[in-house]
Each structure stands twice: as structure tokens, then as C-alpha cells.
Chain A
Amino acid sequence: MYTRSFLGLAVMLAVALSAGVAFAQTPNLGKPISPADIAAWDINVLPDGSGLPPGSGTPADGARIYAAKCSACHGPEGKGGVNGRLVGGDPIKTIDAEKTIANFWPYATTLFDYIRRAMPWPQPRSLTNEEVYALTAYILSLNKLIGDNDTMNSQTLPKVRMPNRDGFIVRFPDRTP
């Protein structure tokens, strides 16, 4: 009798386990998609440079593109217009100080990522990767963060040391991996 009950229990457990597996199943209605098919949307650039595309640009190239596509809002040579300036910025001493690329942004990769996804404001995603590299190089050179003849590409851009890289305190370390 003992053996039979034990077997019965084992069968019940097996049934329960398989039911559990069935329970955990979800509709699986997503369709597999290949990296090649995602490529046009795959525009995240991380601080280590992952996501940066092939290509390159120089400050001189960027100056020409900037004059044509950016200066209407950000003013000549990034000095500001109807929208924020892209050059300069005093050291931050008060909570409401103006945050600029030079005095606040911790990573140069953010510049490439944001220009490529959001700029120019009326025609986002209209710039080629070469143009984004060139604009990134131009703005970094205006801020004296790279030399006037430095080329920005997937190797050089992540290595640009931004002045405020270490100016941050993680608010909730226990929630931040």
C-alpha cells in the first residue's frame, strides 16, 4: 500500500509539474527578427562606444553642415539662438546653473547619440552617420575638448574625456546596477 501511495504521489507531482510548465507558457506572438532587419532602428550608442557606426568626420566638415542645418536654432558657432548654446558654460556652482556640453555632459558618445536620433529638430534622422560624426567633432572642437584637426570615429569618440565625467553621485546605489 505504501508503495502504491508513493507511486500515486509521484504521478500527481509529475502532473502538477507539467501543469506548472503549461502555466508558464505565454502566447509567443512576437515574430523573430534579424539584426539586419533592425539595423535602421538600432541607433543606441553607449558610453563604451558600442553602437557607433562605421564612418568618420572632422570639425571642418562639421562647421559646413552646422552652418546649413543647425545655426538657425543654435546660433552661429554654437553660441545660442532660439535654442540653447552648444559652446562654453561657466563651472557649475548653483543648482540652476546652465548645464552645457562642456561643463556638464559626462560622455561624448551622448552627443553623437542625441544628434543622430533627434536633430535637426524639424528633420530628425535626416543626417548621414558621416554628418553626425562631423557635427560631433565640430561641437567638441568649439569647446576645445578635441583639437581642430581631430577626426571622430568609432575608436576616437569614446576616448574623448569630458571635463565633468566624475561630477555625479548615484542617487540610489541599491537600485542601480
Chain B
Amino acid sequence: MTVTPSDRAQRELKNLEAVAGNGLLHRRAFLRGGAALAGAMTGYTLVPSAFGQQLAEDPWSLVPGVTVPDYGTRSRFEKNVVRTLSNPKGEPRTQHARTPHHLLNGTFTPNSLHFVISHAGDPDIDPGNHRLVIHGLVKQPLVFTLDALARYPMVSRMAFVECGGNSAPLFSLEPIQATVQALHGLVSCAEWTGVPLSTLLDEAGIDPKAKWIVAEGGDPPHVSRSVPLSKAMDDAMIALYQNGERVMPGNGYPMRLLLPGWEGNMNTKWVRRIQLTEGPGMTFYEARTYAPVLPGGKAYRFYFIQEVKSFITHPSPGLALQGPGFYEISGIAYSGNGRIARVMVSADGGKSWAQAALQQPVLSKAFTGFRVPWRWDGGPAVLQSRAWDEAGYEQPARAQLVAARGETARLPSVTGFPSQHYNAITSWSIERSGEVKHVYA
């Protein structure tokens, strides 16, 4: 059948109809509809004098600009785009720096805004004196310098890294009013380049008795974690580069263990030693910290996977809507079990759903951007996103998650970690004023 222009126009008009409650539009409405149709449906009128001002040269267009710096930094007008710090004076406890997802738009996290958790500050490592040792159940223990590793065949891949405690405020019995940065800021995504760990383990010669590795950092607490050998031989990497430049000090300079899709704390930063063992070390962070307690008092051991999750970044608390009309709802989705298969968005608290457009290419264990056009009528609305991954896992509703995992007995601090591994739906309520609030729906 031939598609005639009038068929196309009909289809475009149809696309501009709401596909789900409270004004969610077809995900391709604007890609197909064009500006004229968009203007028509948003209600904005284009009149010749609407701008009401004659254009003139601006001061910055009339004089030479500043000298180009040797290491670039963002505009001085973007100084508010920063990480939030849990321990800005470096007191003797852990420091957290959270990524401002609501002020970014994309799937790479800029290196200076990548989240960081340091248990005793970032070590000031001289790369020329850093060493990586592989020993334990191997035929020949080996030591590698950075210069040696830099000569190996490398791989590059996008991968998110997420703290096992990210989103923990959503275990609160009441919704905590906070930005997406405070609630979900302990996840970031970068392109990592380095040496497959399997290459180095093969060179050392794996004893058939080995079933685990215990990886340790050169940071002051010498943070150590146990990882099944099968993961180490699958897609683990000794990462030397982060978004094309050397790994940032807070992210493990000069080298870190990257375990795509697995609990952030296991991705040993400043990695200096890998011991192959028969059993796990039951280190502090696996025996105690990242063992989420279940209702009734038992606890999960070895959670490993950061399960399928999504959240809306635009709009979100702190980004108020400026009156009724057109907005794009966007956010990020990711899964430690592979690629994102689908993201659905609701504007009526989950009663009806519209399929979101996914930013291409969709990469395994990496951020996937999603977008849905939305016409806000000015009334109350509750925005939610829900993701599915290629392994078939569905992001749970909050009620489903807390039925299995529990919620707090008291209101926790927004910077606290009442439990770990929260991946359920986040809900934003749009008030008539345009303000965005965190709710449970």
C-alpha cells in the first residue's frame, strides 16, 4: 500500500493524541509531527511581535574572548552543577559525592561529576610506584607495573557503576523530600578502557581449585572484596581510562577493578592485589555492610547484581514546571543483567503507561536514556518510569519491593543507608504550582 501525504498527516495527528492518561504522547510524536503540529498541539501561538524586542549585538560578541585553557572547564554560569558531599571536611568517616542527575542530560557521566565513595579520602598514588600483584592459587605469582599494563591489548566499554546503597532513602516508611541527586546520586556511567582481567589471570595460570578472587585496594583502609572467579573471567577489567582520560583519583587512579553491572563496592578502586582463593574472604564489606537485612532478621549474602532500575530525571524535585503545556519527560535506565529492553512511563501514578523512546545504541550494563513527550494540563499528576531488561527482569513497584524487603521503622536520614539494593519505581508528584514532590504511589 502506498503511503500518501494525507495518510501521513493523519498518522501524525493520531500520534499527537495522548497514548496514556494525563497527557502522555506517543514517543515519536515530535520526531514525526514537526514544529508546526507541535506548536498547534502545545497551544503556543506564534504571532509576529511575540518576542517584543529588537535583537542587538551582545557584549561578548564585541571583544576577543578569554584565552583557551590547557585543561577545559565548564562555563562560569554552570557552577551550580556539582556533586553534593556528605563529609566536606573529611572527618574520620566515609565520604560520599553524589552525581547531579537532574542537572545533566546524557548517558556518559562527566569524570568530574562521577559519584565517589571513599572510606578514608582519595589516596594520592604515584602511578610509577603503583603495583598490581596476582597471587594465591596460581602457578606463578606475578607483579605488574602500570607501564607494563599499558602495553596490553585493551578493550573499551560503557558501564554504569552503582553503589549497593544507592536509592536507600526509598526504604523510608515515608517519602523523603529530596532531589534525584540525593536519592539516586550514587550511580554514574562512563566508558572504561583497560586490560581484560582474564588475560592477566591466564598469564599467572589458574589453579583448578580456585573459585574466587579477593581484590584489595591501595587506599588507607585497604578495602577488599571477594568476587567469584567466573565473573573475573567473564567481563572484568583492570580499567586504566575513564571517558578517555586516566581514571580519576576518586574512581581508582591509576587502576581499578571494573565488574560491569555488579555492586559498586566490589569494583575495587586503586586495586593493588588480587588473590585467588578456594572460598570467599568474608571481608568487612561483604560480611557486614552489603548484606541487606530482611524482615524477620535474616540477611542476604552476596547480592552482587545491581538489578534493573530506572528513574525520571526531568522533571524531578527542584525542577519546577513553568505552567501547563509541553514538556519532555526523560530519565535513565540500566540493568546489571544486560541491555534495557523497554521503559514505560506513567503520568497517572501507574494506572496507564506509554512506551518511552530509548536512546540508541542500547548498551549492556550501561545507562540508557529514555524520553516521552508530555502535555501537562496543569492538574495533579504522578510520574513514574518502569524498566525491563533483556534477561526478562521487571523493575518492581515499590509496594512489591518493600513487601519482600521491608521498610524502615522510623524516618531515616536522607544520607543514611537503612538497607541496600533498592531498585523499585520512583514516583514524582506534580503539584498545581508546578512543584515536583517525591511520593509513594
B99 at the binding interface (Cβ < 8 Å):
no
Interchain CB contact under 8 A, A92 and B222: no
| A88 at interface by CB-CB < 8 Å | no
Partner of A28, one of B93, B119, B203: B203
Is the CB–CB distance between A168 and B152 below 8 Å? no
The 0/1 profile, CB within 8 Å of A marked 1, for residues 285-298 of chain B is 00111011111111
Partner of B228, one of A27, A34, A177: A177
Interface digits, B138-169 against A, CB 8 Å rule (1 contact, 0 not)? 00111110001101110000000000000000
Main secondary structure of the interface of A (DSSP, over half): loop
Q: What 1/0 mask marks residues of chain A from 78 to 93 whose CB sits below 8 Å from any chain B CB? A: 0000110000000111
Contact B151 A29 (CB under 8 A): yes
A125 and B272 CA atoms in complex are apart in Å by: 15
Interchain CA distance A93-B204 in the complex, whole Å: 46
Q: How far is the CB of A113 from chain B (nearest CB, A)?
A: 6
Contacting residues of chain A (1-54) with chain B, CB-CB under 8 angstroms: 26-35, 38, 41-48
In the assembled complex, B323 has its CB within 8 A of some CB on chain A: no
Q: Which of B228, B277, B280, B406 contacts A175 (CB 8 A)?
A: B228
Within 8 A of B (CB), among A108-144: 109-110, 113-114, 117-118, 121-122, 124-125
- Asked if B301 lies at the interface with its beta carbon under 8 angstroms from chain A, I say yes
Residues of A within 8 A of B275 (CB): 42, 44
Partner of B221, one of A41, A117, A168: A117
**Contact residues in B for A125 (Cβ distance below 8 Å):** 222
Number of interface residues of B (CB under 8 A): 74
Residue of A45, A73, A92 touching B92 (CB-CB under 8 A): A73
Query: Given that A27-B151, A96-B412 are contacting pairs, would A170 and B279 also be in contact in the complex, using a CB cutoff of 8 Å?
Result: no
Closest to B148 in A: A29
Residue of B nearest to A116 (CB): B222
Known contacts A27-B151, A118-B221, A169-B301, A95 near B141 by CB under 8 Å: no
A30 with B204: CB separation less than 8 A: yes
User: Is the beta-carbon distance between A104 and B288 smaller than 8 angstroms?
Assistant: yes
Given contacts A83-B93, A110-B287, contact A44 B406 (CB under 8 A): no
- The verdict on B270 contacting chain A, using a C-beta distance below 8 Å, is no
Contact A31 B143 (CB under 8 A): yes
Q: How large is the interface on A (under 10, 10 to 19, 20 to 34, 35 or more residues)?
A: 35 or more
**Quick check: A177 and B152 within 8 Å, CB to CB?**
no
Contact B282–A109 (Cβ < 8 Å) = yes
Stretch at the interface among B12-20, B30-38, B76-84, B208-216: B208-216
**Are A95's CB and B295's CB within 8 A?**
yes
Interface residues of A (CB under 8 A from B): 26-35, 38, 41-48, 73, 82-83, 91-97, 99, 104-107, 109-110, 113-114, 117-118, 121-122, 124-125, 167-172, 175-177
Question: What are 22 pairs between A and B in contact, CB < 8 Å?
Answer: A29-B144, A29-B152, A30-B148, A33-B143, A41-B273, A44-B214, A44-B216, A44-B275, A44-B277, A95-B295, A95-B408, A105-B287, A107-B282, A109-B282, A110-B287, A113-B281, A117-B222, A118-B120, A167-B299, A170-B302, A171-B302, A171-B303
Interface residues, chain B, with chain A CB atoms under 8 Å away: 91-93, 119-120, 133-135, 140-144, 148-149, 151-153, 171, 199-200, 202-204, 211-212, 214, 216, 220-224, 228-231, 272-273, 275, 277, 279-284, 287-289, 291-305, 405-410, 412, 418-419
Leading 8 A-B pairs by shortest Cβ distance: A30-B142, A96-B418, A118-B221, A29-B148, A117-B222, A95-B406, A177-B211, A168-B301
